[in-house]
Chains A and B, each alone.
Chain A
């Protein structure tokens, strides 16, 4: 079956760095997405990886290892507004997004 695993909740301190991990098992693979979702709002796109390696975009970076079925989202210089759920999603061979349950990130002052 298809499956996405990511931690349920993480806590970090303002100004620090946090890494949110995601492992996936899908029927075929066409890329890995990270989305940010604040409570009561729709998800917003953060990153897309289809090749192995690290993609950096400002304070956020995303890494992918296809051979390991593994990705992580790295958030630097954490701000209070980064408190949100972070959703990992893999695109399978039919271009269907397989979603993880999301990681709730709590930022403390």
Chain B
């Protein structure tokens, strides 16, 4: 199946700093990428949907100025957590939907575990 690579897998940062997470589709062009967040013992929560070349669409309650999403190419989307705080510590996962993927099947990255001290 298609491969989505997410980097970094683990990141620890100090409160107030910014962290960038990359999501790459390695063997297909991803017209749409989704960013999710998962807190311990909870389900995945969709944060935003990004389409290549356009602004991301954020879910209700997600601060677009805090979680900056850039989808500049068909193979790369980035999520930047700005001025991170301990409550932002979570598991962040991206998924990608390829062009012409009629089934709508999503391919997931490995996830990035963010710990903010």
| Count of A-B contacts judged by CB separation below 8 Å | 47
Chain B residues with Cβ below 8 Å from A31 are 103-104
A99 touches B44 (CB 8 A): yes
Contact of A95 among B42, B45, B97, B110 (CB under 8 A): B97
Q: Decide yes or no whether A91 CB sits under 8 A from chain B.
A: yes
Contact A45 B105, beta carbon cutoff 8 Å: yes
Interface size on A, residues (CB 8 A): 20
Q: Which B residues are in CB contact (< 8 Å) with A45?
A: 1, 105-108
Q: Is the CB of A42 within 8 A of B109?
A: yes
Interface: B89 (CB within 8 A): no
Interface magnitude class on chain B: 20 to 34
- Once bound together, how far apart are the Cα atoms of A97 and B109, in whole Å? 16
B98 CB–A CB distance under 8 Å: no
Distance (Å) between the CB of B46 and the closest chain A CB? 7
- The 8 A CB mask of A42-62 against B (1 = contact, 0 = none) is 111100101000000000000
Specify which chain B residues have a CB less than 8 angstroms from the CB of A42 in the assembled complex. 6, 93, 108-111
Say whether B104 contacts A91, CB under 8 Å.
yes
Q: List 5 A-B contacts (CB under 8 A).
A: A41-B111, A42-B111, A45-B106, A96-B46, A102-B43
A residues lining the B interface (CB < 8 Å):
30-31, 33, 40-45, 48, 50, 87, 91, 95-97, 99-102
